[in-house]
Amino acid sequence: MLIYFAAPALWPDYETLLPTLLDGAGIQADITTDPTDPAAVDYIIYAPSAPLQDFTPFTRCKAVLSLWAGVERIVGNATLTQPLCRMIESGLTEGMVEWVVGHSLRHHLGMDRHIVNPGHVWDPICPPLARERPVTVLGLGALGLACAKALTALNFPVTGWSRTAKEVPDLT
């Protein structure tokens, strides 16, 4: 089996671990970051930020395995005729929720006024309560919905937008 790791900038993060995990699962595979014969590739490990955009030469490829949870940057690719598997891993969701909540609170509380403060002037301002600061989440897929729920749990009034109609308790 030949696997094309099509995200060369990310390869150093996977170079040791991926072969070890495949071997541990009893999967015998050769991994390449530069296939000399695209027609010999069985699987592609892909990141939308990678240079690979034309899947046409990969005629034997059984599936494209995305390293990202989001698929918006690849599903419109007309050359992608193989099945697409997206990353589903709780750590991705948890990390995104922490990032969004952290930056929402940063802006809500006006933290930059204290962090970026060359004069070291204490200028206390009382921000409104979270319930008085509306937040909108654009995209209510797995990540967006998890972020919206976390912000709702902090009493932010959250509005959500999705391309498809969704009924989500506590969101408008």
Separation of alpha carbons 161 and 82, rounded Å = 30
* Cut 0.85: pTM above it: no
- Residue 69 backbone dihedrals phi, psi, to 5 degrees: -80, -35
Report the pLDDT value the prediction gives residue 59, as an integer from 0 to 100. 97
Residue 6 token pair:
């099509």
Q: Residue 39 to residues 50, 79, 104: CA-CA distances in angstroms?
A: 19, 14, 47
Domain boundaries, the chain: 2-85, 90-161
Separation of alpha carbons 19 and 111, rounded Å = 44
Average pLDDT estimate for 111-137: 91
Contact (Cβ atoms closer than 8 angstroms) between residue 65 and residue 45:
yes
Contact (Cβ atoms closer than 8 angstroms) between residue 18 and residue 37:
no
Q: What is the pLDDT of residues 51-105, one digit of tens each?
A: 999 999 999 999 999 988 777 778 889 999 999 998 788 888 999 999 999 999 9
What is the end-to-end Cα distance of the chain in Å, rounded?
48
Q: Which residues contact 84 (CB under 8 A, 6 or more apart)?
A: 63, 64, 66, 71, 74, 75
What is the CATH number assigned to the segment(s) 90-161?
A: 3.40.50.720
